[in-house]
Structure 1
Amino acid sequence: MKPHTVRGYRPRSAALGRLGWAPATALLLAMTTSCTGSAPPGNGGPKPGTAGVGDRLFPALGNGGYDVAHYGLTLDYVPETNRLKGTAVITARATQGLSRFNLDLSGLRVHTATVQGVKAQLHRDKDELLVTPAKTVKDGTIFKTVVTYDGTPRMRESGDGDLEGWIETDDGSTALGQPTGSTTWFPGNHHPSDKATYDIAITVPKDKDGAPYDVVSNGKLTTEEDKGETVTRHWRTEEPMASYLAHISVGYFEIDKVWTDDDLPVYVAIDPDESEGAADVKVLVPEIVGWASERFGPYPFSSTGAIVDHLPELDYALETQTKPYFGEAPDEALLVHELAHQWFGNSVTPRKWKDMWLSEGLATYAEWLWEEEQGDRNTNEVFSDFYDGTDTESEGIWAFPPADPPSGGRVSDPPVYGRGAMVVHKVREAVGDETFFDILRSWTRQHRHGNADTRQFIALCEDKSGKNLTELFDVWLFSKQKPSRM
């Protein structure tokens, strides 16, 4: 995630069958790589799963007792009325005996739910949907929950004006999930620690002139069906994804399909109102992906791209998986940042929200590396400008330790980005370039498509360097005060 502004940070054609399945390899991959905060197997008799997974910053997000492997979302959306109708097929594995479990869902009216094909009892408690199956789910069982729902999905606005959730645009809508926005358009286990694969099929009517809307989502476009008055597009994400990275954009876009030198498909969608300013995006995306692959390890997904919309009131960009989302034409630094997230944040996802500095600090440092290699400031100079407060994005970086945001509303504040990047730079100084880049490539390889935390990053840095880096991390990552220059 990264703001558009240059001032200080504000961040924060085959017919479709019913979805709800995933290729066996993707299903097994999701089950073995995702990690929830639920109870371990063998915990006695059936009992209710918990609401929340024990994340201090977002205690209501996520749910205990199960681990989602796959979401099959079949959606009908009408842009003119902003009405959404959905069927969510959620395939999960019980990590305890379940007499009841929760799904996160904000707004929207739920009509029915079944578990293993049998009607379940439902109860709503604000943003929690409590599902009681007709029969308890045994520990270790792979089970399928089907939820039907509809309504007008919500847009959320934070205290400082940032938008998330389901946001209407001038020609359609976009769904942005960080940190809680995905709960506004599909039910699920909405915590970064529970990653899953996705099939998303969206049916949208043609406009009054008979022209089809474009619909862009994560992963690859597998099928497109024109039914005369409507068009259905089916997008598939075969690699596990945290729910806050799930995305849909509906509108009119100029679509470019190209390939990298390694035959990786690149899908770039640009709103016509941004086409002039974003003319270089389709060239820069494969260039940046190739550049990052050499430094951070192989690109972790089976496709890449970008979405450039026309939503100038949005004050940030988001690293939506495989196709970062921009509300207006991005500059090179912003494009580098969001594409670097495909390694740091999307493939290697924070275990808890307090670990977000690992995503934002490393993506910000990727900007510093890019700037250095373009012949502008070197990373030492950028570090000094942040330390002295002369960089345009250095305002507020000493407000709190990057690994300890005081609240959920501050996980996208300046220390997580700028000071997080400074921590990364101090590690590079301490271990040397060869070891430093070995650390980055090892990090993305060891935790590919999984979750990781601060403790694991520190352990890797010490293991690879053979050095005790306790003082470095105590001073630059955990200290509440601005450190003396070391």
Structure 2
Amino acid sequence: MLLAATSARAQYAAQSGTPLVDVTGYVIDATVQPARHSLAATAQVTFTPTADLPTASFVLHDALRVQKVADASGNAIPGERGPNDTLLLTPATPLVKGQSYTWTFTYAGQLDGSATSGPVPGLTLAKIDADTSYLLYGGAWFPMDGYLTDRFTATLHITVPSGYTVVGSGAVAISKTDASGMREYDFAWTKPSFPGTILVGKWVDVPDPQAANIHLYVSPAHQKAAEGSYGTSALDEFAFFTSTFGEPPSNTLNIVELPNGTVPAYWAPGIAAIASAHIGGGNDARLLANTIAHQWWSAEVSPATLNDAWITNGMCTYAELLYLEYQDGEGALANAIQDVAAGALAYDTTPLTSAGRLGAFSPQFQSMTFEKGAMVFHMLRWVMGNDSFNKALQAVLTEYAGKDVSTAQFEKAAEAHTQQNLVPFFAEWLDGTGAPDFKTKWDVYRLGNGKGFRTVGAIEQQLDLLNMPVDVRIETQGKTVNHVVQVVGNSTPFDIETFGEPSRISIDPDWHVLKDTPDMQVRVDILRGQQKAAQGDVAGALAEYQAALKVNPQSSLASFRMGELLFAQHDYQAAVNAYRDALSGDNQPKWTEAWSHIEIGKIFDITGQRDRAVNEYRQALETHDNTSGAMNEARHDIQVPYKLPGAGS
């Protein structure tokens, strides 16, 4: 699942090796003034150089002006701003490898959410506002290094005006309001992790009545959802992951509503922050599950470098799917895995073990580490079997608790829990790119004396080095037979006997293996189109949707997404044409029918054709498909004519 997408330059330098500065701890005193959008802070940073260095480099949000940097003796350390929000500091004497240093940074500035500032251009990760303020770890609101890989402890003293609540990682103590109307929240996280996120707001605090350790901090608009199904999902997911992975780094979980306009979700130890648009909807529990899973697969065990981030990011996405399977069965997992496979193939041009050079917030890095990483775990589970797979995950969480783990270490742990040689598996899926497109040919022979039938054939695919077990399903009038064939190379024979005469043969019907089929290519093109549309690249998005329609002219989803894009551009006639194409297409997924009628109705309302609009809304109701609240939307629009956001009465 993508947590952010931007085509801008990489957020930080690629973490392909050991950072030159190993930060071990912070003590930060910060005052947040929401009405002024301002932050004033002093940060004591304790670090150890990993090599002899004449200078030290940290990342600090470029909207924050550094007033002074001093060493432990109070001596000023000169420095200058470098590219990409870096701060270059030159002490009087070179830093010595392995020696611990503590420097104090004094800085201040306004974090008003300007898209032109911050470590990831176009993506706001640190913003102070009158309603809700968020200082995400990735926003570099304090001097940092080794994003997602350099574990640290933190003691944070955050002062805010009375009336605001502050959420952070670790045990919290709250002072009384002082004479100036300010009060201090003190947080202490003593286990090395990533406790660098602070959230400030005027939320409703919704404690879970069944679990005192779970709190939901939401806006009044989402209080009902927090008290109902969304809160129930949070409790169930936290309990499921605890039973599956063991105790989390913190038994307290704060779920906090983020404003829209930043990432869809973010995590910190003891925190799952979710954007407003993703709270209370039909599929929002999946994003919540993915975010909660980071408590184990990021906060508890982290990647040694960003080249190893497929382990944690991929496992969080797969944990989301494991919960879906637990709730709704194997069929739900089989359906969902195809969407994940599309994400895995969207940017499959770089091996997973080289992903660190792409930048932590690039769409390529996100797609590869989250979606392809999840597919690696899904396939590994198929290869190892459930029991061995689960034992391997438990072993990694136990052995590397509070530490980082490398790909080589993970591979060793997996091999320790199976009798199989996993070198070919990891070489194919971690060090290579591409996915097979399985094809088959076969002949059926009748066996004598009423003994049934023999199907003799071969599985063919284009990857010469592939070595994977693949399920062959033969459907007969009597029963369905599943037979696992170890596919090696371009062509692998099979010989399967059945009692009934075969009527259909399917290769990997349950999607145990990542495949690049023509249908999957349509999904990939549509996904890339959605990502380009989110980045404002209209021409690029249209080109991707057109590529999908070239492969499958009947794709309702491709036509619907094209209609969405054209509607947003106010090209109403072209949008209606695209929605009509969706209605006359393959009706996959089914929800495109209801929503195409609704969107056409909205266009009729905008263009003053109310009777035609109502007719479309009624046709939407006739589908009885309430995906993403379609029925509720149609009923509302029948009663109240649709108007463009911001349009006058």
Partner deviation per Cα, 1:6-52 (whole Å, 9 max, x = no partner): xxx8589xxxxxxxxxxxxxxxxxxxxxxxxxxxxxxxxxxxxxxxx
Unaligned stretches of 5+ in structure 2?
A: 439-469, 471-649
Provide the C-alpha distance between the structure 1 equivalents of 2:207 and 2:50, rounded to a whole number of angstroms.
41
> For residue 251 of structure 1, what is the amino acid of its counterpart?
G
Is 1:365 the counterpart of 2:318 in the alignment? yes
Provide the C-alpha distance between the structure 1 equivalents of 2:231 and 2:241, rounded to a whole number of angstroms.
16
Is 1:109 the counterpart of 2:65 in the alignment? yes
**Structure having the higher Rg:** 2
**Do the aligned partners of 1:383 and 1:422 also contact (CA within 8 Å) in 2?**
no
**Greater shift after overlay, 230-239 or 216-225?**
216-225
Q: Give 1:268's aligned residue.
A: 216
Provide the C-alpha distance between the structure 2 equivalents of 1:85 and 1:226, rounded to a whole number of angstroms.
19
Match of 1:303 among 252, 271, 296: 252
Residues 445-464 of structure 1: matches in 2 within 5 Å?
A: 445-464=398-417
Is 1:219 the counterpart of 2:170 in the alignment? yes
Q: Alpha carbons of 1:315 and 1:187: their partners in 2 closer, same or farther (altered >3 Å)?
A: closer
Q: Give 1:415's aligned residue.
A: 368
Question: Normalized against structure 2, the TM-score is what?
Answer: 0.59
Provide the C-alpha distance between the structure 2 equivalents of 1:174 and 1:415, rounded to a whole number of angstroms.
27
**Do the aligned partners of 1:369 and 1:378 also contact (CA within 8 Å) in 2?**
no
**Do the aligned partners of 1:104 and 1:190 also contact (CA within 8 Å) in 2?**
no
> For residue 380 of structure 2, what is the amino acid of its counterpart?
V
Match of 1:129 among 87, 103, 109: 87
Q: What's the offset of the Cα at 1:320?
A: 2.4
Partner deviation per Cα, 1:190-247 (whole Å, 9 max, x = no partner): 43332111111111224xxxxx1122122221233311411211122222223xx621
Provide the C-alpha distance between the structure 2 equivalents of 1:118 and 1:475, rounded to a whole number of angstroms.
54
Provide the C-alpha distance between the structure 1 equivalents of 2:368 and 2:53, rounded to a whole number of angstroms.
40
Match of 2:109 among 151, 154, 158: 151
**Do the aligned partners of 1:75 and 1:86 also contact (CA within 8 Å) in 2?**
yes
Q: Alpha carbons of 1:457 and 1:419: their partners in 2 closer, same or farther (altered >3 Å)?
A: same
Match of 2:199 among 224, 236, 249: 249
**Greater shift after overlay, 452-461 or 371-380?**
371-380
> For residue 352 of structure 1, what is the amino acid of its counterpart?
T
**Do the aligned partners of 1:100 and 1:132 also contact (CA within 8 Å) in 2?**
yes
**Do the aligned partners of 2:216 and 2:226 also contact (CA within 8 Å) in 1?**
no
SS in 1 for 2:434: coil
Is 1:57 the counterpart of 2:14 in the alignment? yes
Q: Alpha carbons of 1:155 and 1:414: their partners in 2 closer, same or farther (altered >3 Å)?
A: same
Which of the pair has the greater relative contact order for Cα pairs under 8 Å at 6+ separation? Answer: 1
Q: Give 1:204's aligned residue.
A: 160
Provide the C-alpha distance between the structure 2 equivalents of 1:98 and 1:464, rounded to a whole number of angstroms.
42
**Do the aligned partners of 2:34 and 2:130 also contact (CA within 8 Å) in 1?**
no
Provide the C-alpha distance between the structure 1 equivalents of 2:257 and 2:273, rounded to a whole number of angstroms.
6
Q: Aligned residue pairs: how many?
A: 420
Provide the C-alpha distance between the structure 1 equivalents of 2:387 and 2:14, rounded to a whole number of angstroms.
36
Residues 173-188 of structure 1: matches in 2 within 5 Å?
A: 173-178=133-138, 181-182=139-140, 185-188=141-144
Q: Give 1:31's aligned residue.
A: none
Match of 1:327 among 269, 275, 289: 275
SS in 1 for 2:247: coil
Provide the C-alpha distance between the structure 1 equivalents of 2:240 and 2:43, rounded to a whole number of angstroms.
38
Is 1:163 the counterpart of 2:123 in the alignment? yes
**Greater shift after overlay, 312-321 or 460-469?**
312-321
Provide the C-alpha distance between the structure 1 equivalents of 2:250 and 2:331, rounded to a whole number of angstroms.
30
**Greater shift after overlay, 168-177 or 374-383?**
374-383
Q: What's the offset of the Cα at 1:144?
A: 1.8
> For residue 284 of structure 1, what is the amino acid of its counterpart?
S
**Greater shift after overlay, 251-260 or 294-303?**
251-260
Unaligned stretches of 5+ in structure 1?
A: 4-8, 13-54, 207-211
Provide the C-alpha distance between the structure 1 equivalents of 2:75 and 2:354, rounded to a whole number of angstroms.
43
Q: What's the offset of the Cα at 1:171?
A: 0.7
Provide the C-alpha distance between the structure 2 equivalents of 1:308 and 1:369, rounded to a whole number of angstroms.
25
Q: Give 1:73's aligned residue.
A: 28
**Do the aligned partners of 1:154 and 1:165 also contact (CA within 8 Å) in 2?**
no
**Greater shift after overlay, 414-423 or 131-140?**
131-140
SS in 2 for 1:385: helix
Richer in helix (by share): 2
**Do the aligned partners of 1:2 and 1:337 also contact (CA within 8 Å) in 2?**
no
Question: Normalized against structure 1, the TM-score is what?
Answer: 0.77
Provide the C-alpha distance between the structure 1 equivalents of 2:304 and 2:291, rounded to a whole number of angstroms.
19
Provide the C-alpha distance between the structure 2 equivalents of 1:388 and 1:142, rounded to a whole number of angstroms.
45
Q: What's the offset of the Cα at 1:308?
A: 1.6
Provide the C-alpha distance between the structure 1 equivalents of 2:91 and 2:351, rounded to a whole number of angstroms.
44
Provide the C-alpha distance between the structure 1 equivalents of 2:287 and 2:386, rounded to a whole number of angstroms.
24
SS in 2 for 1:319: strand
Q: Give 2:265's aligned residue.
A: 317
> For residue 298 of structure 1, what is the amino acid of its counterpart?
E
Q: Give 1:192's aligned residue.
A: 148
Partner deviation per Cα, 1:439-485 (whole Å, 9 max, x = no partner): 11111111111111222222211122132112222333333212245
Provide the C-alpha distance between the structure 2 equivalents of 1:188 and 1:104, rounded to a whole number of angstroms.
5
Provide the C-alpha distance between the structure 2 equivalents of 1:97 and 1:404, rounded to a whole number of angstroms.
27
**Greater shift after overlay, 233-242 or 82-91?**
233-242
SS in 2 for 1:359: helix
**Do the aligned partners of 1:435 and 1:464 also contact (CA within 8 Å) in 2?**
yes
Q: Give 2:289's aligned residue.
A: 336
> For residue 147 of structure 1, what is the amino acid of its counterpart?
F
Q: What's the offset of the Cα at 1:98?
A: 5.3
Q: Alpha carbons of 1:116 and 1:199: their partners in 2 closer, same or farther (altered >3 Å)?
A: same
**Do the aligned partners of 2:153 and 2:191 also contact (CA within 8 Å) in 1?**
yes
> For residue 205 of structure 2, what is the amino acid of its counterpart?
I
Provide the C-alpha distance between the structure 2 equivalents of 1:92 and 1:315, rounded to a whole number of angstroms.
29
**Do the aligned partners of 1:11 and 1:413 also contact (CA within 8 Å) in 2?**
no
Q: Alpha carbons of 1:386 and 1:128: their partners in 2 closer, same or farther (altered >3 Å)?
A: closer
Provide the C-alpha distance between the structure 1 equivalents of 2:391 and 2:115, rounded to a whole number of angstroms.
40
> For residue 252 of structure 2, what is the amino acid of its counterpart?
S
Q: Alpha carbons of 1:204 and 1:111: their partners in 2 closer, same or farther (altered >3 Å)?
A: same
Q: Give 1:231's aligned residue.
A: 183
**Greater shift after overlay, 463-472 or 378-387?**
378-387
SS in 2 for 1:478: coil
Provide the C-alpha distance between the structure 2 equivalents of 1:268 and 1:397, rounded to a whole number of angstroms.
35
Q: Alpha carbons of 1:321 and 1:150: their partners in 2 closer, same or farther (altered >3 Å)?
A: same
SS in 1 for 2:271: coil
Q: Give 1:351's aligned residue.
A: 304
Identity of aligned residues (%): 22
Name the Cα RMSD after superposition. 3.2
SS in 2 for 1:374: helix
SS in 2 for 1:292: helix
Q: Give 1:469's aligned residue.
A: 422
Q: Give 1:284's aligned residue.
A: 233
SS in 1 for 2:292: helix
**Do the aligned partners of 2:160 and 2:184 also contact (CA within 8 Å) in 1?**
yes
> For residue 178 of structure 2, what is the amino acid of its counterpart?
K
SS in 1 for 2:393: helix
Q: Give 1:20's aligned residue.
A: none
Q: Give 2:346's aligned residue.
A: 396
